[in-house]
Homo-oligomer: A and B are copies of this chain.
Amino acid sequence: MFAEILTIGDELLSGHTIDSNSAFIAQKLTERGYWVKRKTTVGDDVKEIVAAVSEILQRRPELLVISGGLGPTHDDVTALAVAEALKKELLLNEEALRRIESFYKSLYERGLIDDPDLNDARRKMAYIPEGAELLRNEVGAAPGFYIQKGPTKIFVLPGMPKEMKAMLENEVLPRIAGKRFIQKKLLAEITDESKLAPILSEAIEKFGVRIHSSPKGFGRYIGIIIFGENEEIIENAKRFMEEKGIVFEQGW
Protein backbone atom coordinates (compact mmCIF):
# COMPACT_ATOMS: atom_id res chain seq x y z
CA MET A 1 0.00 0.00 0.00
CA PHE A 2 1.95 2.97 -1.17
CA ALA A 3 1.09 6.61 -0.65
CA GLU A 4 2.26 10.05 -1.69
CA ILE A 5 1.79 13.44 -0.08
CA LEU A 6 1.52 16.77 -1.90
CA THR A 7 1.69 20.01 0.07
CA ILE A 8 0.84 23.28 -1.61
CA GLY A 9 1.86 26.79 -0.63
CA ASP A 10 4.25 29.54 -1.68
CA GLU A 11 5.20 30.03 1.96
CA LEU A 12 6.64 26.48 1.99
CA LEU A 13 8.86 27.27 -0.99
CA SER A 14 10.15 30.58 0.34
CA GLY A 15 11.12 28.91 3.61
CA HIS A 16 8.84 31.13 5.67
CA THR A 17 6.95 28.10 6.88
CA ILE A 18 8.37 24.71 7.84
CA ASP A 19 6.21 21.97 6.39
CA SER A 20 5.10 20.18 9.53
CA ASN A 21 1.80 19.19 7.87
CA SER A 22 3.43 16.61 5.63
CA ALA A 23 5.26 15.07 8.60
CA PHE A 24 1.98 14.75 10.48
CA ILE A 25 0.24 13.17 7.50
CA ALA A 26 3.22 10.87 6.89
CA GLN A 27 3.18 9.72 10.49
CA LYS A 28 -0.53 8.91 10.45
CA LEU A 29 -0.28 7.05 7.13
CA THR A 30 2.79 5.11 8.29
CA GLU A 31 0.91 4.06 11.42
CA ARG A 32 -1.85 2.74 9.20
CA GLY A 33 0.57 0.56 7.26
CA TYR A 34 1.01 2.83 4.25
CA TRP A 35 4.45 3.27 2.82
CA VAL A 36 4.86 6.95 1.99
CA LYS A 37 7.23 6.83 -0.96
CA ARG A 38 7.42 10.48 -1.85
CA LYS A 39 6.49 13.95 -0.67
CA THR A 40 6.21 16.86 -3.07
CA THR A 41 5.70 20.56 -2.43
CA VAL A 42 4.67 23.07 -5.08
CA GLY A 43 3.49 26.68 -4.91
CA ASP A 44 0.03 28.19 -5.28
CA ASP A 45 0.15 27.94 -9.04
CA VAL A 46 -2.37 26.07 -11.19
CA LYS A 47 0.19 24.86 -13.73
CA GLU A 48 2.60 23.58 -11.08
CA ILE A 49 -0.15 21.80 -9.15
CA VAL A 50 -1.60 20.20 -12.30
CA ALA A 51 1.89 18.96 -13.25
CA ALA A 52 2.61 17.54 -9.80
CA VAL A 53 -0.78 15.82 -9.47
CA SER A 54 -0.51 14.31 -12.97
CA GLU A 55 2.99 12.96 -12.28
CA ILE A 56 1.91 11.46 -8.96
CA LEU A 57 -1.12 9.76 -10.54
CA GLN A 58 1.15 8.22 -13.19
CA ARG A 59 3.05 6.47 -10.39
CA ARG A 60 -0.29 4.93 -9.35
CA PRO A 61 -0.15 5.17 -5.55
CA GLU A 62 -3.06 3.69 -3.58
CA LEU A 63 -3.37 6.97 -1.73
CA LEU A 64 -2.59 10.63 -2.38
CA VAL A 65 -3.11 13.19 0.37
CA ILE A 66 -2.97 16.83 -0.72
CA SER A 67 -2.89 19.72 1.76
CA GLY A 68 -3.09 23.47 1.23
CA GLY A 69 -4.61 26.09 -1.05
CA LEU A 70 -8.33 25.62 -0.32
CA GLY A 71 -8.93 28.99 1.33
CA PRO A 72 -10.61 32.17 0.08
CA THR A 73 -7.55 34.17 -1.06
CA HIS A 74 -6.40 34.92 -4.59
CA ASP A 75 -3.66 32.32 -4.35
CA ASP A 76 -5.85 29.44 -3.17
CA VAL A 77 -6.16 27.51 -6.43
CA THR A 78 -5.89 23.88 -5.36
CA ALA A 79 -9.48 22.80 -6.05
CA LEU A 80 -9.33 24.34 -9.51
CA ALA A 81 -5.98 22.71 -10.27
CA VAL A 82 -6.99 19.27 -9.00
CA ALA A 83 -10.14 19.43 -11.13
CA GLU A 84 -8.04 20.35 -14.13
CA ALA A 85 -5.56 17.52 -13.51
CA LEU A 86 -8.48 15.07 -13.34
CA LYS A 87 -10.23 16.67 -16.34
CA LYS A 88 -13.32 17.36 -14.24
CA GLU A 89 -15.56 20.41 -13.96
CA LEU A 90 -15.61 22.41 -10.73
CA LEU A 91 -19.18 22.35 -9.47
CA LEU A 92 -20.90 24.32 -6.72
CA ASN A 93 -21.61 21.98 -3.82
CA GLU A 94 -24.76 23.12 -2.02
CA GLU A 95 -23.90 21.47 1.28
CA ALA A 96 -20.46 23.11 1.23
CA LEU A 97 -22.07 26.49 0.53
CA ARG A 98 -24.46 26.09 3.45
CA ARG A 99 -21.62 25.12 5.77
CA ILE A 100 -19.47 28.06 4.68
CA GLU A 101 -22.40 30.40 5.11
CA SER A 102 -23.11 29.22 8.62
CA PHE A 103 -19.39 29.27 9.48
CA TYR A 104 -19.06 32.97 8.60
CA LYS A 105 -22.35 33.71 10.28
CA SER A 106 -21.05 32.21 13.50
CA LEU A 107 -17.79 34.19 13.23
CA TYR A 108 -19.87 37.33 12.75
CA GLU A 109 -22.06 36.55 15.73
CA ARG A 110 -18.94 36.06 17.85
CA GLY A 111 -17.72 39.51 16.74
CA LEU A 112 -14.71 38.12 14.85
CA ILE A 113 -15.59 39.51 11.41
CA ASP A 114 -17.43 42.62 10.21
CA ASP A 115 -19.53 41.07 7.50
CA PRO A 116 -21.20 37.64 7.43
CA ASP A 117 -22.20 37.73 3.76
CA LEU A 118 -20.90 35.33 1.14
CA ASN A 119 -18.70 37.33 -1.21
CA ASP A 120 -17.09 35.71 -4.26
CA ALA A 121 -13.92 34.78 -2.39
CA ARG A 122 -15.89 32.89 0.25
CA ARG A 123 -18.28 31.36 -2.25
CA LYS A 124 -15.28 30.03 -4.23
CA MET A 125 -14.54 27.54 -1.46
CA ALA A 126 -17.83 25.72 -2.13
CA TYR A 127 -16.70 24.56 -5.57
CA ILE A 128 -15.31 21.02 -5.72
CA PRO A 129 -14.58 18.73 -8.68
CA GLU A 130 -17.45 16.83 -10.30
CA GLY A 131 -17.79 13.41 -8.66
CA ALA A 132 -15.92 14.42 -5.51
CA GLU A 133 -17.26 13.72 -2.06
CA LEU A 134 -17.29 16.57 0.46
CA LEU A 135 -15.05 16.28 3.54
CA ARG A 136 -16.26 18.24 6.55
CA ASN A 137 -14.18 20.97 8.11
CA GLU A 138 -15.18 21.13 11.77
CA VAL A 139 -12.66 23.86 12.59
CA GLY A 140 -12.60 26.29 9.67
CA ALA A 141 -14.34 27.46 6.52
CA ALA A 142 -12.74 25.55 3.66
CA PRO A 143 -14.21 22.10 3.04
CA GLY A 144 -12.00 19.34 1.72
CA PHE A 145 -12.92 16.66 -0.76
CA TYR A 146 -12.28 13.06 -1.69
CA ILE A 147 -12.17 11.68 -5.19
CA GLN A 148 -10.98 8.42 -6.71
CA LYS A 149 -8.87 8.31 -9.87
CA GLY A 150 -7.91 4.88 -11.23
CA PRO A 151 -6.28 3.00 -8.33
CA THR A 152 -5.69 6.21 -6.34
CA LYS A 153 -7.81 7.57 -3.50
CA ILE A 154 -7.23 11.34 -3.50
CA PHE A 155 -7.93 13.39 -0.36
CA VAL A 156 -7.64 17.17 -0.57
CA LEU A 157 -7.34 18.97 2.78
CA PRO A 158 -6.87 22.58 3.91
CA GLY A 159 -3.39 23.81 4.82
CA MET A 160 -4.11 25.35 8.21
CA PRO A 161 -2.65 22.71 10.56
CA LYS A 162 -5.60 22.68 12.95
CA GLU A 163 -8.08 22.18 10.10
CA MET A 164 -5.90 19.66 8.27
CA LYS A 165 -5.38 17.54 11.38
CA ALA A 166 -9.06 17.44 12.31
CA MET A 167 -10.05 16.52 8.77
CA LEU A 168 -7.35 13.86 8.48
CA GLU A 169 -8.41 12.21 11.74
CA ASN A 170 -12.17 12.49 11.28
CA GLU A 171 -12.68 12.26 7.53
CA VAL A 172 -9.66 10.59 5.92
CA LEU A 173 -8.47 7.87 8.28
CA PRO A 174 -11.94 6.30 8.62
CA ARG A 175 -12.08 6.04 4.81
CA ILE A 176 -8.78 4.18 4.31
CA ALA A 177 -7.71 0.67 5.14
CA GLY A 178 -6.73 0.21 8.73
CA LYS A 179 -4.01 -2.40 9.06
CA ARG A 180 -1.60 -1.41 11.77
CA PHE A 181 2.08 -1.55 11.08
CA ILE A 182 4.08 -1.95 14.24
CA GLN A 183 7.10 0.20 14.97
CA LYS A 184 9.50 0.12 17.87
CA LYS A 185 11.84 2.96 18.79
CA LEU A 186 15.08 2.03 20.50
CA LEU A 187 18.34 3.64 21.46
CA ALA A 188 21.41 1.67 20.43
CA GLU A 189 24.35 2.25 22.72
CA ILE A 190 27.24 2.27 20.33
CA THR A 191 29.79 4.95 19.73
CA ASP A 192 29.91 4.79 15.99
CA GLU A 193 27.03 4.39 13.60
CA SER A 194 29.26 2.97 10.87
CA LYS A 195 29.87 -0.15 12.95
CA LEU A 196 26.14 -0.68 13.22
CA ALA A 197 25.58 -0.73 9.46
CA PRO A 198 26.48 -4.37 8.67
CA ILE A 199 24.45 -5.63 11.64
CA LEU A 200 21.37 -3.64 10.60
CA SER A 201 21.72 -4.91 7.04
CA GLU A 202 21.83 -8.49 8.26
CA ALA A 203 18.72 -8.01 10.42
CA ILE A 204 16.81 -6.41 7.54
CA GLU A 205 17.72 -9.29 5.25
CA LYS A 206 17.00 -12.02 7.79
CA PHE A 207 13.71 -10.79 9.30
CA GLY A 208 12.08 -8.75 6.54
CA VAL A 209 11.83 -5.70 8.79
CA ARG A 210 12.56 -2.08 7.85
CA ILE A 211 15.01 -0.22 10.05
CA HIS A 212 15.66 3.53 10.23
CA SER A 213 18.71 4.73 12.08
CA SER A 214 19.20 8.37 12.99
CA PRO A 215 22.63 9.61 13.97
CA LYS A 216 22.33 11.60 17.19
CA GLY A 217 25.70 13.36 16.90
CA PHE A 218 28.69 11.34 17.99
CA GLY A 219 27.53 10.54 21.50
CA ARG A 220 26.93 7.08 22.88
CA TYR A 221 23.43 6.60 21.43
CA ILE A 222 21.96 6.11 17.99
CA GLY A 223 18.22 6.23 17.41
CA ILE A 224 16.75 3.13 15.81
CA ILE A 225 13.22 2.47 14.57
CA ILE A 226 12.28 -1.08 13.63
CA PHE A 227 9.15 -1.50 11.47
CA GLY A 228 7.53 -4.89 11.15
CA GLU A 229 4.25 -6.67 10.70
CA ASN A 230 3.99 -7.79 14.30
CA GLU A 231 5.66 -7.62 17.71
CA GLU A 232 7.21 -11.05 17.39
CA ILE A 233 9.11 -10.25 14.19
CA ILE A 234 10.41 -7.03 15.73
CA GLU A 235 11.40 -8.82 18.93
CA ASN A 236 13.28 -11.48 16.96
CA ALA A 237 15.15 -8.88 14.93
CA LYS A 238 16.03 -7.02 18.13
CA ARG A 239 17.31 -10.18 19.81
CA PHE A 240 19.41 -11.03 16.76
CA MET A 241 21.07 -7.60 16.90
CA GLU A 242 21.67 -7.93 20.62
CA GLU A 243 23.42 -11.22 20.02
CA LYS A 244 25.68 -9.39 17.59
CA GLY A 245 26.71 -7.07 20.41
CA ILE A 246 24.34 -4.11 20.22
CA VAL A 247 23.06 -2.86 23.57
CA PHE A 248 19.57 -1.38 23.31
CA GLU A 249 17.74 0.97 25.63
CA GLN A 250 14.04 1.79 25.47
CA GLY A 251 12.53 4.61 23.42
CA TRP A 252 13.52 8.21 22.61
* Chain A residues close to B by CB (< 8 Å): 10-20, 22-30, 36-43, 48, 52, 55, 71-75, 107, 112-115, 119, 121-122, 160, 183, 191-198, 200-201, 204, 210, 212-215, 218-219, 225, 227
Contact = CB atoms under 8 A, between A and B. Distances in A.
A245 to B, nearest CB: 12
B71 A215 contact: yes
Contact of A13 (B39, B52, B114, B115): B39
Tell me which of A23, A204, A218 has the highest count of chain B C-beta atoms within 10 A of its own C-beta. A23
A74 B197 contact: yes
Interface of A (DSSP majority class)? mixed
A14 to B, nearest CB: 5
B194 A73 contact: yes
Contacts of A196: 73
Given A73-B200, A119-B194, 10 more contacts: A12-B39, A13-B26, A13-B36, A14-B26, A17-B214, A19-B19, A37-B43, A75-B212, A119-B195, A122-B194
Contacts of A71: 193, 215
A128 B92 CA distance: 55
A218 B112 contact: yes
